[in-house]
């Protein structure tokens, strides 16, 4: 008989490892949707990293609780008449979390680094409006040629290739955050390690245990530190939405970013005050393959599919998570933009169905020649439900859907290769501007899965890019979207909603269309 002593001592050892967790006065505990790929703003491309990185750093421009753009590191700015030169006046008291002064040079340094091909930053293209940026990122020009210049320690001049009305919005994005040149010079790639990482936001990094927790505490050098209420934040990366919900219910986290859709009804009934669902800057759509040889390259087929889709049924009866049926690509609530809608949206369901039948017959499909379509989606319960619903809705028209699912990486590779007729896609806006959505349909852009192409649309988008007046620019883009919708260039299904669980003892949380919530605005009710 072997001794069980080692086992007993193993258990004793384990129980002796009990660690008391520090309980600071005002600690916010947030379940974020996954492990950050990095805390280096240049290496990040996901949504949940924004929660952490956006608390640690601050750009020239930043967001208030309602995500209105407000001055960040820059106190004020001047824009030249041609809209191509921006002069930012930085706060005199701007400091890093180690007390070092933050200067215009830090911005020059970090934007050059972002665009340096060796940095291999996913989101470098967001700063392409800056003169020379694209050429640098392609390795065709030296980083010194970037149109960014420190006039003095507190004045930064930025020159753009052409006027870019959404440029200020982009500056609040994490790609445009300043990085501490003095720290990067000292530690190189290791600057991001805990103990080295220095930031300029309302909070500073204390500890990062991979896949476990990230701890940040209030940055006393932050320019608005007096108005930051929280002492500490702990972010828990939790991929499993049900686990996040359970931990919220167990009182272990104060905020859960995103909850499982299947639980929405239960949450509405049992935790109505904690459950936050709000319109979100995103569109869920089906890419329709316009490449030659695909039935969906025929505009009549695309129109028929669009007309025969009961979007209200998908949102209200199938998904039931408060999503808003969509007849356009640009969601409602975007700055200066008037919602466009596809032709046929105001017809009754029966009228639409009848018209769809006519269109398909016209295109040569009917009882003797059924329309067979390949529909692909990335593996997910909700996507499957939507696809099955579409198959059922289109069945009466004699359409047979061949449903094919694959994991995300494979699905998008198939989409890029044009290996589909109907393909599930979604787009979350990088910034609050219609251009960010409509550019998905410009000829030849990487994310134009369906290879939609229309010269008039492209021309209008070019025209919008050169229009300085925001209202006029919005009108041009409205016309562009109108063209695309009349072409039935895609099959929009619904506008996304954000889904958060927020404890009722928190103040300062505001639902907003970008679903950005900086912790500096949050306080804990005593």
Partner 1 sequence: MLSYIAKRLAMAIPTLLIVITASFFLMRVAPGGPFDGERQLPPEIEANLMAAYHLDEPLPMQYLRYMGNLLQGDFGPSFKYKDFSVTDLIAQGFPVSLELGGLAIALALLLGIPMGVMAALKRNTTVDYLLMGTALGGIAVPNFVIAPLMALFFGVMLGWLPVGGWNGGALPNLVLPVVALAIQQIAYIARMMRASMIEVLGSHFIRTARAKGLNERQVIWRHALRPAMLPVLSYLGPAIAGIITGSVVIEQIFGLPGIGRYFVQGALNRDYTLVMGTVVFYGILIVLMNLIVDLLYSLFDPQIRYDD
3-class DSSP state for residue 28? strand
Q: Confirm or reject binding of residue 43 to partner 1 (CB under 8 A).
A: yes
Q: Is 124 in the site for partner 1 (CB under 8 A)?
A: yes
Angle (CA) 31 36 41, round 5°: 125
Q: Which is nearer to partner 1, 9 or 472 (CB)?
A: 9
Q: Is 25 in the site for partner 1 (CB under 8 A)?
A: no
- Distance (Å, whole) CA 252 – CA 255: 9
How many angstroms separate the CA atoms of 158 and 168, rounded?
11
Please tell me the count of residues contacting partner 1 according to CB under 8 A: 66
Give the distance, in angstroms, between the CA of residue 244 and the centroid of all CA atoms in the same chain. 20
> By C-beta, is 117 or 466 nearer to partner 1?
117
Which one of residues 52, 102, 121, 216 is an interface residue with partner 1 (CB under 8 A)? 121
Among 143, 163, 171, 192, binds partner 1 (CB under 8 A): 192
Of 150-158, 250-258, 357-365, 464-472, the segment contacting partner 1 by CB under 8 A is 250-258
DSSP labels, 255-285: EEE---GGGHHHHHHH-TTTEEEEEEEEEEE
Q: Is 118 in the site for partner 1 (CB under 8 A)?
A: yes
Residues 6+ apart with CB under 8 A from 251: none
Number of DSSP helices (H) and strands (E) in the chain, helices first: 16, 19
Paired strand residues for 204: 217
3-state SS assignment for residue 184:
helix
68 binds partner 1 (CB under 8 A): no
Helix ranges (H only) for 42-148 are 48-56, 104-115, 133-137
The residues in 351-410 that bind partner 1, with binding defined as CB under 8 A, are 406-410
**What are 223's two structure tokens?**
């320019």
Site membership for partner 1, residue 35 (CB under 8 A)? yes
- The CB-of-395 to partner 1 minimum distance in angstroms stands at 29
Examine residue 188 and tell whether it contacts partner 1 (CB under 8 A). Answer: no
Return the C-alpha torsion angle 66, 69, 70, 72, nearest 10: 110
Please provide the size of the chain in residues: 526
Site for partner 1 in 425-454 (CB under 8 A): 425-427, 446-447
Task: Figure out which of the listed residues 66, 162, 185, 193 binds partner 1, where binding follows CB under 8 A.
Answer: 193
Among 240, 362, 402, 510, binds partner 1 (CB under 8 A): 240
Q: What is the Cα–Cα distance from 18 to 355, expressed in whole angstroms?
A: 68
Instruction: Based on the shown chain and the rule CB under 8 A, indicate whether residue 73 belongs to the binding site for partner 1.
Output: no
Based on the shown chain and the rule CB under 8 A, indicate whether residue 142 belongs to the binding site for partner 1: no
**Least distance to partner 1 from the beta carbon of 399, Å?**
27
Q: How many CB atoms lie within 10 A of CB 434?
A: 26
Which DSSP state fits 260? Answer: -
Our CB check for partner 1 shows the closer of 448 and 467 to be 448
Give the span between the Cα atoms of 224 and 518, in whole angstroms: 13
Q: Give the interface with partner 1 as residue ranges (CB under 8 A).
A: 1-2, 4, 7, 10-11, 14-15, 17-19, 21, 35, 37-40, 43, 45, 117-122, 124-125, 134, 137-139, 192-193, 208-213, 236-240, 242-243, 246-247, 249-252, 406-410, 412-414, 416, 425-427, 446-447
């Amino acid at each position: 008989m072997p001794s069980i002593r080692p086992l007993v001592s193993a258990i004793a050892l384990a129980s002796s490892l009990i660690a008391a967790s520090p309980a600071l006065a005002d600690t916010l505990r947030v379940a974020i949707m996954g492990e950050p790929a990095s805390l280096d703003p240049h290496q990040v491309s996901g949504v949940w990293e924004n929660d952490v990185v956006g608390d640690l750093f601050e750009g020239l421009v930043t967001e208030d609780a309602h995500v209105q753009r407000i001055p960040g590191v820059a106190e004020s700015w001047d824009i030249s008449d041609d809209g191509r030169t921006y002069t930012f006046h930085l706060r005199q008291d701007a400091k890093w979390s180690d007390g070092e002064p933050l200067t215009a040079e830090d911005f020059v340094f970090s934007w050059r680094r972002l665009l340096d091909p060796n940095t291999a930053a996913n989101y470098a293209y967001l700063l392409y409006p800056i003169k020379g940026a694209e050429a640098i990122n392609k390795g065709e020009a030296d980083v010194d040629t970037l149109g960014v210049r420190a006039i003095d320690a507190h004045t930064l001049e930025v020159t753009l290739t052409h006027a870019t009305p959404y440029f200020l919005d982009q500056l609040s994005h994490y790609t445009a955050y300043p990085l501490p040149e003095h720290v990067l010079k000292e530690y190189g790639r290791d600057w991001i390690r805990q103990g080295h990482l220095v930031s300029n936001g309302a909070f500073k990094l204390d500890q990062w245990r991979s896949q476990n927790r990230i701890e940040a505490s209030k940055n006393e050098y932050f320019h608005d530190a007096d108005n930051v209420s929280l002492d500490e934040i702990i972010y828990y990366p939790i991929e499993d939405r049900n686990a996040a919900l359970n931990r919220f219910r167990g009182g272990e986290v104060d905020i859960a970013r995103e909850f499982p859709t299947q639980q929405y009804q239960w949450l509405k009934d049992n935790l109505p005050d904690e459950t936050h669902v709000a319109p979100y800057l995103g569109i869920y759509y089906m890419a329709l393959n316009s490449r030659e040889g695909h039935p969906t390259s025929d505009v009549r087929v695309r129109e028929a599919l669009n007309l025969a889709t009961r979007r209200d049924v998908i949102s209200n009866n199938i998904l039931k998570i408060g999503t808003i049926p969509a007849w356009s690509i640009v969601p409602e609530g975007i700055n200066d933009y008037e919602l466009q809608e596809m032709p046929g949206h105001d017809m009754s369901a029966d009228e639409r169905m009848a018209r769809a039948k006519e269109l398909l017959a016209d295109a040569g499909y009917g009882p003797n020649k059924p329309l067979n379509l390949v529909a692909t989606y990335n593996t997910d319960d909700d996507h499957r439900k939507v696809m099955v619903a579409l198959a059922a809705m289109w069945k009466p028209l004699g359409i047979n859907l061949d449903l094919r699912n694959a994991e995300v990486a494979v699905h998008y590779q198939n989409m890029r290769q044009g290996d589909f007729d109907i393909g599930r896609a979604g787009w979350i806006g990088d910034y609050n501007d219609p251009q960010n959505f409509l550019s998905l349909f410009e000829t030849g852009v990487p994310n134009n899965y369906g290879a939609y192409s229309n010269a008039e649309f492209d021309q209008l988008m070019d025209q919008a890019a050169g229009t300085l007046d925001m209202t006029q620019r919005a009108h041009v883009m409205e016309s562009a979207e109108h063209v695309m919708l009349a072409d039935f260039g895609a099959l929009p299904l619904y506008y996304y909603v954000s889904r958060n669980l927020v404890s009722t003892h928190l103040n300062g949380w505001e639902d907003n269309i970008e679903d950005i919530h900086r912790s500096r605005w949050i306080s804990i009710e005593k």
